[in-house]
Amino acid sequence: MEPAWKRYLTDYNEGLGVVYERFMLNEYLDRVLNRYPVRAVLEVPIYGMAGVSGINSVRLAQRGCQVTLVDYDSERLAGVKRIWGELGLPCETAHLPDLSRLPFPDGAFDLVWNFAALWYLPQAEATLREIARVAARLVFIAMPNRWQVGYLLRKYALDREFFRTVDEQWVKLGRIKKILVQSGLSIVEEGVLDVPPWPDTVMPAGEFLRKIGIRSGKMQAAFSAQSWHWSTMDYYLGKDATLKARVERYAILDRLPLPWWLKLMWAHHHYVLGLKLQPLI
C-alpha cells in the first residue's frame, strides 16, 4: 500500500483536523518568535504530521526566519522542495538517510524542532541528542498525546496495526525532557496544543464512522472528501482567505485560560520547549 504522505504531495485537501492542527501550531510558533530572538531554524525530521509534508515551518519563513529542512526520504523531500517553490518561500534542504549524526556545527541554529516525528526514527535518542547539540538557543518537540481519548481509541480498537510501526516510548515527554536536560538545556515550558472539540483518531471521518459501525449513506456522504475542502496550502497561496477564521471557530478549548494539564485528556499533542544553558565563563 502506498504511504499516505505520497498522496498529499499533490492533493492538498487535508481535512479539517489537520488544517486546525496547523493553525494552532502556527499560533504557538508565533508566541515563541515573539518571546525569543530566532533567525536560523532547523526542522529535523520534517515528517510527523499528517497531510501535506514539509510545510510545518512555513510560518517561520513567513516571519523572516532562515529555514533548513532535513528528511530521510529523498522522494518526499523532492516533493517538499517543489511545494516550497509553489509558495515562493526560500528554504535549504538536506537529504540524510541516517539522522543519528547531523552534518552541522554545534549551535548552528537558533531553533531546532520537529512535530510528532521522533517515534518514526530507528535511532531517535541519537537524533534528539544531535538536535540539542546543533541548537544555539531553543529546542521544541511536540508528540501525540498518549492520554487523549482518540489516541486510546486508535491504539486499542481502531488502528492497532499502526502501533507496530512506531516506537511508543517517544510519546513519553518525561523521556524527552530527561535527554534534553542531559544535553545542556533547561526546560522552560511544557504544555499541550491542538485541542479541538473532536478526538484525534488520525483517520478520515468517513473511515472513523465505518470503524465504529456507522454505515449510514447520508453520514458517509456528509464526511466524504467530495463534500468538503480544507487546505492550508490554499490559504498560504491566497486562494482561501477565509480559512483561518473558519477554523478558529473551533479553538475555544485551545484558548481557554486553564492550566495545560487540565486539557491533557483531550489535547491531541503534548510539547516541551528547552532553552540552551549558557556556559559559565
**Phi and psi at residue 215, to the nearest 5°:** -115, 20
Region 231-255: mean pLDDT is: 96
**100-129 pLDDT, tens per residue?**
999 999 999 999 999 999 999 999 999 999
**145-169 pLDDT, tens per residue?**
999 999 999 899 888 899 999 999 9
**Residue 205: pLDDT over 80:** no
Instruction: Please say whether the beta carbons of 268 and 195 come within 8 A.
Output: yes
Region 74-81: mean pLDDT is: 97
Nearest to 54 by CA among 114, 11, 101, 108: 114
**259-277 pLDDT, tens per residue?**
999 999 999 999 999 999 8
CA 60 to chain centre: 13
Q: How confident is the model at residue 279 (pLDDT cuts 50, 70, 90)?
A: low
Q: Which residues, 6 or more positions from 225, have their beta carbon under 8 angstroms from its beta carbon?
A: 13, 15, 204, 206
Instruction: Please say whether the beta carbons of 193 and 254 come within 8 A.
Output: yes
CB 178: neighbour CB atoms within 10 A? 12
Q: What is the DSSP letter of 42?
A: E
CA dihedral (201, 49, 155, 75) positive or negative: positive
CA distance 81 to 86: 9
* Domain extent listing, the chain: 4-145+166-199+229-276
Inter-axis angle of helices 173-182 and 124-134, nearest 10: 50
Nearest to 55 by CA among 9, 13, 119: 9
CA distance 60 to 25: 11
Q: Which residues, 6 or more positions from 167, have their beta carbon under 8 angstroms from its beta carbon?
A: 118, 119, 121, 124
Q: How confident is the model at residue 21 (pLDDT cuts 50, 70, 90)?
A: very high
Is the entire prediction scored with pTM above 0.85? yes
Report the CATH number of the 4-145+166-199+229-276 domain. 3.40.50.150
**Phi and psi at residue 121, to the nearest 5°:** -95, 140
Which pLDDT value is given to residue 4? Answer: 87
Is omega for the bond preceding 45 within 30 degrees of 0, making it cis? yes
Mean pLDDT, rounded, of the chain: 91
All cell numbers assigned to 198: 473532536
Q: What is the DSSP letter of 277?
A: P
Beta-bridge partner residues of 94: 70
CA 147 to chain centre: 17
Region 181-200: mean pLDDT is: 95
Which pLDDT value is given to residue 217? Answer: 53
CA dihedral 24, 26, 27, 33 (to 10 degrees): 150
